[in-house]
Homo-oligomer: A and B are copies of this chain.
Amino acid sequence: MTTTRVCVIGCGFGGLEAVRALARSEAVEVILIDRTNHHLFQPLLYQVATADVAAPAVAGPIRHILRRETRTGRLTILRAEVTTIDAAQKTLQLDDGSLLGYDALIVAAGATHSYFGNDHWAAFAPGLKTLTDAFAIRSRIIGAFEQAERTSSDVERSACLNFVIIGGGPTGVELAGALAEIARHTLPDEFRRIDSRQARIVLMEGGPRVLGAFDERLSESAAKQLRKLGVELHTGCQVTGIDAEGVDYREGGEQKRLPARTVLWAAGVAASPLGKALAASAGATLDRAGRVSVQPDLSLAGHPEIQVIGDLAAATSPTKQGPKPVPGVSPAAKQMGKLAAANILRRLRGEPTRPFKYADYGSLSTLGRNAAVVQLEAPVVGRVRFSGYPAWLFWLFAHIYFLIGFRNRLVVLIDWAWSYWTFARHARVVAQPDKPKAPATPSPS
């Protein structure tokens, strides 16, 4: 019997779970391919961007996480980028031009930012998906306060102290809350010419409320908590332009402009370009966000050997009200990873595959110090909601619990305790200083 080779593309929550499940079986050889050398605990990435924790606290080397699986001799890990998929030949092409054959394939390549057709905004409003993104955002935030201290122009100073976050989903509110805390609690006393408390943290959301995926009552609570932290909330606000100097937006039928040096993008998500590769090669159907439509068992129509999972998959899950789209959250990706692996092993044994059913345990989002919203889907009592301090404690322990590795948990707990009691954000270091983009302004000598 020859071993079946399963290739897994991407080591996010879905890919990692799939590899772990597959490596337990002696029937398959697994090749995991990822562009980076680390698995990222994405829910805490905003804390790297806002200098609360260091990168290694929320990212672990893939080889270290999967060392036990590697020891079985059945897992190979390659740091490489998959450039195309040939579904007919069952091969992947890697970025160095080499070809890699597969018998079964799990595509878990995730998503990136979408600027809704305005890709030129990317240069002015970075999004937050990778460690590189997080470092870039950290550098901009710190650079803006530094430039405000340095400049002698009032106009520039106020633009430096305006921070705009576009998108009122979980990432947007987390960034806004953290920025408000930096301006109000971390930085005061550290500058001489500016008062960091005068910074404006502006959160712009196109829809009628923040955290639109949550219960309406929790959205209201979130809005109240954000305002209390010092965030300016603009809902029903359409961004129409972003450039180096600020943001154009429509609000209440009026066209407005806010000069701002720091604009962060937390509004749109687009599936990985590998979705297009699957469309071209395997005839996959894509939705508007570029996600791949999958069969109930997460395989591609006509290609039972290809599974698509996580943020790249447009999957549905049966509910009492009929099939509902599966949200792009980490528990869903993990559950898909587990099922995709199990279905591959079932097919090998000649058993029928099983359909995906998303077990929704609820959602939670933090907003800043002592502020969060939690919505749990409990088996018997139904939906449970709470917010404020208890929700924040719940969020904290849930995230610590799901962090990978004992060391990371310990270090993140220490970092958080330290930030909580001292208001200091120790990770406020940027390796490469951003050059100020402003024209030279003479300062008093």
Contact = CB atoms under 8 A, between A and B. Distances in A.
A76 B190 CA distance: 9
A135 B431 contact: yes
A37 B442 contact: no
A98 B441 contact: yes
Interface stretch (A64-72, A108-116, A289-297): A64-72
A96 B441 contact: yes
Contacts of A70: 189-192
Contacts of A442: 97-99
Given A38-B429, A64-B424, A192 B75 contact: yes
Interface in A70-89: 70-71, 73, 75-80
* A-B CB proximity, top 6 nearest: A97-B440, A54-B54, A63-B190, A131-B431, A101-B445, A38-B429
Given A78-B149, A91-B445, A410-B414, A96 B438 contact: yes
B98 A440 contact: yes
A3 interface: no
A57 B78 CA distance: 30
Contact of A95 (B426, B430, B435): B435
A137 interface: no
A428 B135 CA distance: 16
A421 B192 CA distance: 45
A429 B190 contact: no
Interface string A124-146: 00000011100100000011001
Given A192-B70, A440-B97, A79 B431 contact: no
Q: Of A35, A405, A426, which is in contact with the most chain B CB atoms at under 10 Å from its CB?
A: A426
A252 to B, nearest CB: 39
A430 B37 contact: yes
A191 B63 contact: yes
A244 to B, nearest CB: 16
A63 B424 CA distance: 11
A321 interface: no
Nearest to A152: B98
A42 B191 CA distance: 25
A100 B441 CA distance: 12
